[in-house]
Amino acid sequence: MMSYIRIRDSFWLGFIITMSIVAAGCGGNESTIGSDPKTPASKPPPISDKPKIIAYGDSLTSGFGLDSWEKSYPALLQKRLDAAGFDFQVLNYGFPGDTSERGLARLYLATGIVNDKIFVIELGANDIMKGVPADEIRRNLSEMIKRLKDKGIEVILCGFKAPETAGTDYQVQIDSMYRDLASTFELTFIPDFMEGVSGNADLMQPDGIHPNESGVRIIEERVSAALVPLLEKYVPKKN
């Protein structure tokens, strides 16, 4: 097992990569990421001993294109849980450009942290953009879910809709793939992570791929609605 120091280093490395690289697919464009270089950027708090919620995904999770990590959906989720009295730490493990295959390959970085309780898996958007067969996406996500459940970790699965340009058959295959995974593993399921956001210019960044601050707030509300019942069921609020 990796040491605590190595896990923390991996987390910060992931954050640096998330906020700076130009990645394929949902990686976005570096020119859309910005902050005033004269203003020191704040950093996420260090990893604590609290039970963990891991937001695991690609640039849609990392907050790519936003000018602060505090505007990403995991950061907004942390604020909501704190206000509601849930004593959990939300960690952002979103990597720009990640496919389901790459997400599976780096899973060990997140499962090496002590006290993982819940994973919110948001992966597949980049696969869909590349036309990766639904069966291949399913294999990667299925293996990921198996490994997490073997460790006693709860999973929330976030699905995506394939665009019309991908064809009706592919749309049906992708939708069925996510739904079948959720049913097979008895997971809490969000059928469309970007529902009501994707395609709405008022909620999207100029690249048409990533949500802006308003879009992120809608996504966070959707995730929290799926998450809170799990927290209430398995871990009581702190007094």
Which are the catalytic amino acids?
59, 207, 210
Taking the C-alpha atoms of residue 119 and residue 58, their distance in angstroms, rounded to an integer, is 14
Q: Provide the token pair at 158.
A: 């976030």
CA separation, residue 18 to residues 8, 43, 147, 195 (Å)? 15, 13, 24, 23
Tell me how far apart the alpha carbons of residues 116 and 50 are, in angstroms, rounded to a whole number: 9
Contact 237, 84 (CB under 8 A): yes
Pair of tokens at residue 97? 């450009």
Contact 55, 122 (CB under 8 A): yes
Task: Give the CA diameter of the chain.
Answer: 52
